[in-house]
Amino acid sequence: MQFRPRRFRLGLLIGSAFVAGALLGPATGFLPHASAQAATNAEDYRLLTLFGEVFEKIRAEYVDPPNDKELIENAINGMLTGLDAHSSYMNAKAFKDMQVQTKGEFGGLGIEVTQDNGFIKVVSPIDDTPAARAGMKPGDLITAIDGKTVQGLTLNEAVDKMRGPPNSKITLTVKREGVDKPLEVALTRETIKIQVVKSRMEPDGIGYVRLSQFSERADSELKNAVRNLKQQNGGKLRGLILDLRNNPGGLLDQAVAVSSDFVDQGEIVSTRARHAEDSQRWNAKGNDIIQGLPLVVLINGGSASASEIVSGALQDHHRAVLLGTRSFGKGSVQTVIPLPGNGAMRLTTARYYTPSGRSIQALGIQPDVQVYESREEPPRFGPEREADLNHVLSNRGGTGEKALPPRTDLPPIVKDIPSRPPEGFPKFDPTKPDETDFQLQQAVVVVKAMAAQKSASAN
């Protein structure tokens, strides 16, 4: 999840620290502190000198004349990616691509990816894109692009190779859980115009809305979808299912806005940064667009970042019942900081916390009703969630994984909801969700029971 670019108060903070040191050091006699600071500065200068020496050695003696710009950009990216799995450097082209993507339209395959163990890991394919139609799945590891290994490539370089002119061909080599042999996935690139929201009516006045990512249009399109569903059903609904499965996240302000569409008041999310003055809190700023009607939210291991903010807020406020499997566990905030030369760095600057004070970093959101999509979970291969990544950010400062007390407001029907499909249940077919989507079927059962319970209590 990323903030919109904003200016840090680095000038003020550095200036204040410098002035305080100059005034307080001699006056209070903190010479040991001054000596320690001088030693630290000396070590920093030594390491910077070492960097310069390595740079010059490469320029002078590498087997082929290197590109100085690429050397520096690779060094910067290495410095950032060594911090955690989500910090990285973007050159001017990558930064422009990111800005275009947050607007909901970009070129390529339609796949959200991250990097781990030298491979490219699929976080989630985007609905109705070449990647989704080719059957790419969350957790797939892309090991080669057009027959050439991705090892040694930065994430941005790998993404650049996967992008290209519409109608051009590309082949990805994929390692998938439970499959012994690598898969060769042939795709045709398209101009990706993301339909952020899809909606339809389920039987008995139950509305269904799928939100595929938190782009700039997420909140407005969600409101339009709910408005249209009400019109289709004679002006009212009995309940709503919000599907956040395989939603990899997006913009923080959109996560707050979507949460506010169902929570009238109270905290939605807070962030804690390294410096207390940079920590923030966001409260609900809207009206419940379904006016307290029953709400079930679907989540799974591909629900990450902004999806987890919404799920956590609705769960903590007891506004929705969460159904599915544990979410991805990305509880950190990345700030995009523009750099000279039109590039930018994506830097992890804070952890976020749900209204009850939970940090879901590397833990994820546990649903209220656990329902798996298939009868047998395939054996795992490689990273599946945030906790499996290299350089994972620690979980700290929150109330802990088991701090949320058990809910007492769940409808009695949840005790009878099976956690897995029955034997012989059909394989999921996206063209026939009502017949093959077991998690959705159970969500419909729960929201209907909630609606009936609400109707009975009103009489």
- pLDDT of 293 reads 97
* Residue 4 pLDDT > 60: no
- pLDDT of 15 reads 25
Distances in Å between the Cα of 111 and the Cα atoms of 108, 138, 163, 336 are 8, 10, 10, 21
* Residue 295 pLDDT > 80: yes
- pLDDT of 18 reads 27
**In 10 A of CB 433, how many CB atoms?**
17
Closest by CA position to 336, among listed 105, 80, 158, 143: 80
The pLDDT tens digits for 215-269 are 899 999 999 999 999 999 999 999 999 999 989 898 999 999 999 999 999 999 9
* Residue 67 pLDDT > 70: yes
394 is catalytic: no
Averaged pLDDT, 390-395: 89
Confidence band for 362, pLDDT divided at 50, 70 and 90: very high
**In 10 A of CB 125, how many CB atoms?**
26
Contacts of 359 (CB under 8 A, 6+ apart): 331, 351, 352, 353, 395, 396, 397, 398, 399
Confidence band for 309, pLDDT divided at 50, 70 and 90: very high
Confidence band for 69, pLDDT divided at 50, 70 and 90: very high
At 445, is the secondary structure helix, strand, or coil?
A: helix
- pLDDT of 72 reads 94
CA distance 57 to 311: 51
- pLDDT of 117 reads 75
| Strand ordering across the sheet containing 239-243 | 197-202, 206-211, 239-243, 295-299, 321-324, 369-370
Q: At how many degrees (to 10) do helices 10-28 and 31-61 cross?
A: 130
Query: Quick one: tokens of 118?
Result: 């030298």
Among residues of the chain, what percentage have pLDDT more than 70? 88
CA distance 106 to 112: 12
Contact, 352 vs 305, CB < 8 A? no
Q: Which residue has the higher pLDDT, 18 or 443?
A: 443
Considering the candidates 199, 330, 368, 437, report the single residue annotated as catalytic. Answer: 330
In terms of average pLDDT, the best of 87-96, 315-324, 369-378 is 315-324
Considering the candidates 305, 327, 332, 359, report the single residue annotated as catalytic. Answer: 305
- pLDDT of 20 reads 29
The pLDDT tens digits for 185-198 are 999 999 877 778 99
| Mean pLDDT of the chain, nearest integer | 86
* Residue 37 pLDDT > 60: yes
The pLDDT tens digits for 272-288 are 999 999 999 999 987 99
The pLDDT tens digits for 406-453 are 889 999 999 999 999 999 999 887 778 889 999 999 999 999 999 999
Contacts of 47 (CB under 8 A, 6+ apart): none
CA distance 247 to 299: 9
278 is catalytic: no
The CATH superfamily label for domain 197-458 reads: 2-enoyl-CoA Hydratase; Chain A, domain 1 (3.90.226.10)
* Residue 400 pLDDT > 50: yes
Q: Where are the domains of the chain?
A: 105-193, 197-458
Confidence band for 5, pLDDT divided at 50, 70 and 90: very low
- pLDDT of 427 reads 85
Cα separation of the two ends of the chain? 44
Among residues of the chain, what percentage have pLDDT more than 90? 64
Confidence band for 2, pLDDT divided at 50, 70 and 90: low
455 is catalytic: no
- pLDDT of 384 reads 72
CA distance 181 to 117: 19
Number of alpha carbons in the 13 Å side-chain half-sphere of residue 29: 0
Considering the candidates 84, 243, 261, 316, report the single residue annotated as catalytic. Answer: 316
The CATH code of the domain at 105-193 is: 2.30.42.10
Averaged pLDDT, 3-29: 31
408, amino acid identity: T
CA distance 365 to 413: 21
Query: Quick one: tokens of 11?
Result: 């000038």
Averaged pLDDT, 73-91: 93
- pLDDT of 312 reads 97
* Residue 3 pLDDT > 60: no
